[in-house]
C-alpha cells in the first residue's frame, strides 16, 4: 500500500541512542567535570561530542566491535544478573568466550575501556584520552538503554519492530530540547564494575514497560496516526508520528530523560574516576592533541544486527 502512494519505505535511522542523543550525552557530561578536568575537555568538546558515535560506525568496520554495545541478559534466563560473573576472567571460565561474545559483552567491555582510559591518563597521551573518553561515553550510554539488555532488542520477537530507534533516537530528537540534563558534579566511583552492572540491571528492569506501553498505546492509535512521513536526505521515510511519540513519552513518565541523565552522570563519574586512579595528572601540561581521524571502512563481511 505504501508503495502505491509512491513512498520509499524505510525505517528511521538505526543507530543506538542515535547520533543526536549520544552527542548530547557526551557533551553534557563535560559540564559535570571538576576544574582540573573541565578545561582540557572543554577545549576538545567538539571531538568528544562528534566522536561519541564512532563506536557505532566501528561496528561495520571492525570485527568484534558489535558485541561491545549490548548484552542479551534474557539469553541467560531470569536470574542472569545473579548468574553472570561481574568480572571478565571469571565469565570466560564459566561460559565459552564465543558464546559470551555472541550474546553481547557490553558490561565487561565498558570496564576495559575505562581501564584503557586510566592508562591513557597515566601516560598523559592526549589523543588516547580523548578517543577513549568519547568511546567510554558511548558504551556507558548504550548500557543505560533498556533495549540494549535484551535479545528482543528491536521488538522483533513481539511484533514491535522499530521500537529501538523510536526509544533512543526519535524520542530524544523530538523531546530532549525540553529535558533538564544537569546532573551535578562528577563523583568518584569506588567499584566501577559494580556500578556498570547496577546500571545494566536498572535498564533491564525497564524492558517490560518499554515494550508494554508501546503495545498498549498502539491499540489507541490506528496505523495512519501512529506513523507519519518525513523527508530525510531527499527521501520520504516513515517515522513514528509526533502525537504517538508524545503520548508514549508521557506514558513512560520521563523514563528516557531519566536514563539520559543516568548516562551523563555515569560518564562524568567514570572519566573523573579514571583520572583519579591515574594519579590526577596535570592536563594543562599535555601536548596539544591532534587526534587522527579513525579510518572506518565498512566491511561487507561483518554481520551487524540492526540497531
Ligand atoms: Zn552503540
Residue 199 near residue 144 (C-beta atoms within 8 A): yes
The answer to the question of residue 171 being in a domain is yes
Measured CA to CA, the distance from residue 136 to residue 109 in angstroms comes to 10
Residue 245 contacts by C-beta under 8 Å, 6 or more apart in sequence? 166, 170, 171, 174, 175
Tens of pLDDT along 65-111?
999 999 999 999 989 999 999 999 999 999 999 999 999 999 999 99
Tens of pLDDT along 244-283?
999 999 999 999 999 999 999 999 999 999 999 999 999 9
The answer to the question of residue 290 being in a domain is no
Measured CA to CA, the distance from residue 24 to residue 303 in angstroms comes to 28
Give the number of domains in the chain.
1
pLDDT at residue 286 in the model: 80
pLDDT at residue 131 in the model: 96
Residues of the domain holding 242: 13-285
The answer to the question of residue 264 being in a domain is yes
CATH number, position 142: 1.10.575.10
Distance from Cα 266 to the centre of ligand 1, integer Å: 16
SS3 (DSSP) at 200: helix
* Burial (CB count <10 Å: 0-12, 13-18, 19+), residue 304: middle
User: C-alpha angle 235/240/244, rounded to 5°?
Assistant: 150
If pLDDT is split at 50, 70 and 90, which confidence band does 143 have?
A: very high
Distance from Cα 69 to the centre of ligand 1, integer Å: 5
The answer to the question of residue 3 being in a domain is no
Distance from Cα 55 to the centre of ligand 1, integer Å: 6
Place of cell 498505546: 217
Distance from Cα 166 to the centre of ligand 1, integer Å: 15
Residue 69 near residue 139 (C-beta atoms within 8 A): yes
Amino acid at each position: 500500500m505504501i508503495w502505491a502512494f509512491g513512498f520509499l519505505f524505510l525505517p528511521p535511522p538505526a543507530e543506538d541512542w542515535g547520533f543526536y542523543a549520544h552527542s548530547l550525552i557526551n557533551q553534557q557530561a563535560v559540564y559535570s567535570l571538576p576544574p582540573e578536568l573541565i578545561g582540557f575537555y572543554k577545549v576538545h568538546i567538539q571531538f568528544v561530542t562528534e566522536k561519541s558515535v564512532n563506536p557505532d560506525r566501528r561496528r561495520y568496520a571492525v570485527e568484534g566491535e558489535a558485541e561491545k554495545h549490548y548484552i542479551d541478559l534474557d539469553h541467560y534466563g531470569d536470574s542472569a544478573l545473579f548468574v553472570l560473573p561481574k568480572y571478565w576472567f571469571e565469565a570466560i571460565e564459566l561460559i565459552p568466550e564465543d558464546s559470551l561474545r555472541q550474546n553481547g559483552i557490553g558490561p565487561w567491555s565498558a570496564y576495559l575501556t575505562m581501564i584503557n582510559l586510566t592508562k591513557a591518563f597515566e601516560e598523559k597521551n592526549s589523543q588516547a584520552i580523548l578517543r577513549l573518553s568519547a568511546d567510554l561515553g558511548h558504551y556507558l550510554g548504550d548500557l543505560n538503554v533498556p533495549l540494549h539488555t535484551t535479545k528482543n532488542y528491536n521488538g522483533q520477537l513481539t511484533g514491535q519492530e522499530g521500537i529501538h530507534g523510536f526509544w533512543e533516537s526519535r524520542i530524544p530528537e523530538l523531546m530532549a530540547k525540553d529535558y533538564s540534563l544537569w546532573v551535578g558534579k562528577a563523583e568518584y566511583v569506588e567499584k566501577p564494575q559494580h556500578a556498570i552492572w547496577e546500571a545494566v540491571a536498572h535498564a533491564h528492569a525497564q524492558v517490560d514497560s518499554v515494550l508494554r506501553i508501546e503495545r498498549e498505546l498502539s491499540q489507541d492509535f490506528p496505523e495512519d496516526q501512529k506513523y507519519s512521513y518525513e523527508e530525510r536526505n531527499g527521501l520520504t521515510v516513515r517515522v513514528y508520528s509526533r502525537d504517538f511519540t508524545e503520548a508514549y513519552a508521557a506514558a513512560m513518565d520521563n523514563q528516557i530523560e531519566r536514563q539520559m541523565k543516568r548516562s551523563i552522570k555515569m560518564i562524568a563519574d567514570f572519566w573523573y574516576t579514571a583520572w583519579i586512579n591515574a594519579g590526577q595528572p596535570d592536563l594543562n601540561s599535555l601536548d596539544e592533541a591532534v587526534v587522527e581521524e579513525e579510518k572506518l571502512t565498512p566491511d561487507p563481511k561483518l554481520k551487524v544486527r540492526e540497531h
